[in-house]
Amino acid sequence: MNKKIKKILNKKNKSKIVCLTAYSKNIAEILDKYCDIVLVGDSLGSVLYSYKSTKEVTLQTMINHSKSVRLGVEKSLMIFDMPYNTYRNPKEALKNAKLVMRETKCDAVKLEGGKKIISIVKQLVKNKIPVMGHVGILPQTDKKFRFKGKKQKESEKILNDTKLLENAGVFSIVLECIEIKLSKKITEQIKVPTIGIGSSVNCDGQVLVIDDLIGLSQSKFKFVKKYVDMAKIIEGAVKRYKLEVLKKKFPKVKHSFKN
Ligand code: KIV
């Protein structure tokens, strides 16, 4: 088993797992110092391209961004989020996942879904491709984005999905916007680590979209915490640059070449 995956598994019930998304090298390099997992999420569709849905994200776009992220990630586990319609059956999933692993040198792939994708997960795992699961809100296929686990029937289905995914061989599962008591129950009942987003502190680890955390996106989701307002900081720098250019204060001689 991949040593980095072993390390993630060993953290269950010992220490929290830190995960963030990255879409390019410069950010990835910073995250690599602090994160256990760097996820190249298909959230890049809305974050970078203003797509209405992650359905529009292509495999090639994900591969391009992942190649950039790979340049910045050394120590963390790097996960590639398989985009919509690239894993509709075991054969298609295997072909695309093999291409992704070869082209991007990522350590694992992530797939959205429960019972419906079990044969696909099994096919990848059988072929030594490590898989992370993803249940709760499924941005690729859900029509409405509302938290999951409000009703008992839905909770039972999600809990069952996580058990099926575990049996199929996933090494970890993202829980997206899952009700507090349900995320606790899942985390207690499965052996692989759960990584929460909007799913409370009960999960074994947490993931957020990096642009939300640093204040570069306009995200208003309840579960997001903005740790810094980078949009403001960048705007301040650009304003100062403009002023200096207009007043001929930049560039100075030290920024210029002289014989
Ligand atoms: O696409 C993404 O960024 C994700 C995480 C938020 C879990 O799937």
pLDDT in tens, 33-62: 999 999 999 999 999 999 999 999 999 999
Peptide bond into 193 cis (omega under 30): no
Amino acid at 12: K
Q: How far is the CA of 2 from the centre of ligand 1 (A)?
A: 22
Confidence category of residue 254, pLDDT binned at 50, 70, 90: very high
The catalytic residue among 74, 112, 166, 176 is 176
Q: Is 204 in the pocket of ligand 1 (CB under 6 A)?
A: no
Atom of ligand 1 minimally distant from the CA of 110: 8
Phi, psi of 225 (to 5 degrees): -120, 125
Q: Is 197 in the pocket of ligand 1 (CB under 6 A)?
A: yes
Based on its alpha-carbon atoms, the radius of gyration of the chain, rounded to whole angstroms, reads 20
Q: Is 209 in the pocket of ligand 1 (CB under 6 A)?
A: yes
Q: Is 194 in the pocket of ligand 1 (CB under 6 A)?
A: no
pLDDT in tens, 111-148: 999 999 999 999 999 999 999 999 999 999 998 888 99
Amino acid at 155: S
Q: How far is the CA of 257 from the centre of ligand 1 (A)?
A: 46
Lowest model confidence (mean pLDDT) among 91-100, 139-148, 202-211:
139-148
Q: Is 174 in the pocket of ligand 1 (CB under 6 A)?
A: yes
Atom of ligand 1 minimally distant from the CA of 47: 3
Residue nearest to atom 4 of ligand 1 (CA): 41
The first and second tokens of residue 192, run together, are 């692989």
Q: Are 8 and 39 in contact (CB under 8 A)?
A: no
Residue nearest to atom 5 of ligand 1 (CA): 41
Active site residue 188: no
Residue indicated by tokens 């947490």:
206
Q: Identify the structural domains of the chain with CATH numbers, from first to last.
A: 3-228 (3.20.20.60)
Confidence category of residue 219, pLDDT binned at 50, 70, 90: confident
Global pTM reads 0.96
Q: Are 26 and 34 in contact (CB under 8 A)?
A: no
Nearest Cα residue to 26 out of 214, 240, 232, 153: 214
Mutate to test the pocket of ligand 1, among 35, 39, 44, 203 (most ligand atoms within 8 A of CB): 39
